[in-house]
């Protein structure tokens, strides 16, 4: 244990009994996240109130001890790994839905509420919260906000930034504050709510969130389109996004991914040069015309097959390829490198072609799929030995350079964390990074909130 005795005594009083863990087994459980990186914290605490979090922050600031906020550890960038030790603050016990207010289309929740649990609670009211990461059954709202994590529905409904009205938080100074509003319109000062979302716990610890709710559409239709090659599919994405009907999901899967999924999931997965999975939602009387409009845009040079699901069973069958992807990749490479780059939708064909060329140049297996309607591709490098791992890292640097050259950015929903920090100067000019460091210093003058993350 490296914590000062005075701090340890203060934390013991603030977090009695099992509200603080200092044993090796408990600390190991909070040493890593889904990035597979790890570093041992000195202690783990489990606050249940905003006031406890304020007191914790003040005590740690007095002793210059790092504080690392944590949801459920599903992030893939090492954003919750305590690289400098210190105190991990797990919000898993702050898991209450405080208010559901359909009249004002909002919900107030604590950060430990699971995304999936919130969606279930909103169903009887006819609403949903649009952000839907693939980990939604077990990821927390606080984690979604910290990394601005979204999912397929972002193409139509936006990310957490567009679906959050206000926050309550504790800055690195130990001061608690509120930002944002309970209203859908607001023009009062700086927008600290959007600043905190995506800041990966480097500015403040979120203790409460007021979320903007959306009425749940009563009907949904799924379309699956296969193409001769990835370029044809990427061009179809641009056509779909250039017409008036916005799909609620537009997923891209390349040929390598389809083959892997078929090997794992069976003959229900089609073999093709690439595939698009498209979902359109709305009301029953308007849905057929919307499906027709999207289907027309999906048709074009290189289309091989287009199917529209008419039943829930058919929808499940069409999604089989996408669902088989993650377990299929794990059978190939337990050390896969999972990145989520973004380019403008019109540049997607260039990105897809460029990744193919880089995979060939570096002799690395790359599987590409993801939220094509946002230009957000999950680029998965699958090294199988040390030599391939080395080539993968060289390839990755060139992928990021390609993305920036296409007016894109390093991450759409995973965040930066530890993994992409060194590449930030590629994406942001020195003056921008300087301003970000000044913002960090204003919120966290001692630099104790999640040190070593995000900013190079």
Taking the CA atoms of residue 285, residue 287, residue 289 and residue 295 in that order, the dihedral angle to the nearest 10 degrees is -160
Residue ranges in the chain whose pLDDT is less than 70: 1
H or E segment and range at residue 282? strand 274-282
Q: Name the nearest CA neighbour of 175 among 91, 54, 47.
A: 54
Beta bridge partners of 305: 226
Is the domain spanning 217-323 CATH 3.30.70.1230? The answer is no
Same fold, 217-323 and 333-445: yes
CATH class of 5-90: alpha beta
CA atoms of 330 and 267, how far apart (whole Å): 20
Strand partners, 254: 274
| Beta-bridge mates of residue 275 | 226, 253
Provide the token pair at 215.
């009425």
DSSP state letters, 70-115: ESSS--SS-TT--TT--EEEE-TT---EEEEEGGGTEEEE-TT-BH
Q: Answer whether 261's CB lies under 8 Å from 325's CB.
A: yes
How many other C-beta atoms lie within 10 A of the C-beta of residue 195? 16
CATH code assigned to 333-445: 3.30.70.2740
With 0-12 / 13-18 / 19 or more C-beta atoms within 10 angstroms meaning exposed / middle / buried, residue 454 is buried
How many Å from the N-terminal Cα to the C-terminal Cα in the chain?
Answer: 28
Give me the pLDDT at residue 230, please.
92
**SS3 assignment, position 280:** strand
Q: What are phi and psi of 55, to 5 degrees?
A: -65, -40
pLDDT computed for residue 1 by the predictor: 60
> In whole angstroms, what is the distance from residue 293 CA to residue 298 CA?
9
> What's the number of CA atoms in the CB half-sphere (13 Å) around residue 272?
25
Whole-number Å distance between alpha carbons of 299 and 32: 45
Which architecture does CATH list for 97-215?
2-Layer Sandwich (3.30)
User: Where do the structural domains in the chain lie, given as residue ranges?
Assistant: 5-90, 97-215, 217-323, 333-445
Helix (H) or strand (E) holding 224: strand 219-227
Q: CA-to-CA distance for 267 and 322, rounded, in angstroms?
A: 14
């Amino acid at each position: 244990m490296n914590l000062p005795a005075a701090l340890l005594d203060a934390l013991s009083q603030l977090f009695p009994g099992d509200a603080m863990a200092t044993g090796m087994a408990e600390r190991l459980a909070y040493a890593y996240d889904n990035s597979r990186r790890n570093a041992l914290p000195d202690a783990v605490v489990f606050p249940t109130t905003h006031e406890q979090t304020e007191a914790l922050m003040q005590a740690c600031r007095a002793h210059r001890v790092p504080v690392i906020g944590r949801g459920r550890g599903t992030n893939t960038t090492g954003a919750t790994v305590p690289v400098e030790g210190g105190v991990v603050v797990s919000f898993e016990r702050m898991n209450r839905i405080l208010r559901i207010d359909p009249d004002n289309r909002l919900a107030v929740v604590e950060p430990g509420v699971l995304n999936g649990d919130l969606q279930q609670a909103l169903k009887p009211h006819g609403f949903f919260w649009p952000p839907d990461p693939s980990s939604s059954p077990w990821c927390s709202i606080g984690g979604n906000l910290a990394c601005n994590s979204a999912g397929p529905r972002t193409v139509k409904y936006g990310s957490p930034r567009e679906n959050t009205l206000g926050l309550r938080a504790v800055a690195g100074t130990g001061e608690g504050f509120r930002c944002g509003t309970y209203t859908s319109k607001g023009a009062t000062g700086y927008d600290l709510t959007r600043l905190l979302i995506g800041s990966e716990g480097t500015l403040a610890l979120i203790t409460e969130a007021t979320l903007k709710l959306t009425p749940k559409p009563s009907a949904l239709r799924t379309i699956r389109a296969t193409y001769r090659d990835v370029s044809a599919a990427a061009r179809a994405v641009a056509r779909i996004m250039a017409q008036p009907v916005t799909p609620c999901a537009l997923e891209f899967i390349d040929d390598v991914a389809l083959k892997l999924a078929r090997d794992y999931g069976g003959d229900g997965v089609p073999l093709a040069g690439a595939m698009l999975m498209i979902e359109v939602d709305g009301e029953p009387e308007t849905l057929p015309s919307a499906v027709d409009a999207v289907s027309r845009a999906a048709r074009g040079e290189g289309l091989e097959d287009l199917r529209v699901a008419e039943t829930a069973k058919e929808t499940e069958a069409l999604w089989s390829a996408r669902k088989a992807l993650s377990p299929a990749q794990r059978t190939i490479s337990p050390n896969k490198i999972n990145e989520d780059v973004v380019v403008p939708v019109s540049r997607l064909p260039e990105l897809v072609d460029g990744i193919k060329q880089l995979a060939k140049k570096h002799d690395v297996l790359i599987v590409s799929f993801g939220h094509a309607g946002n230009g957000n591709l999950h680029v998965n490098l699958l090294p199988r030995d040390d030599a391939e791992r080395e080539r993968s890292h060289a390839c990755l640097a060139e992928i990021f350079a390609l993305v920036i050259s296409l007016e894109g950015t390093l991450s759409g929903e995973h965040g930066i964390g530890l993994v992409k920090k060194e590449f930030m100067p590629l994406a942001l000019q020195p003056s921008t990074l300087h301003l970000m460091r000044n913002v960090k210093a204003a919120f966290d003058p001692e630099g104790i909130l999640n040190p070593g993350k995000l900013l190079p």
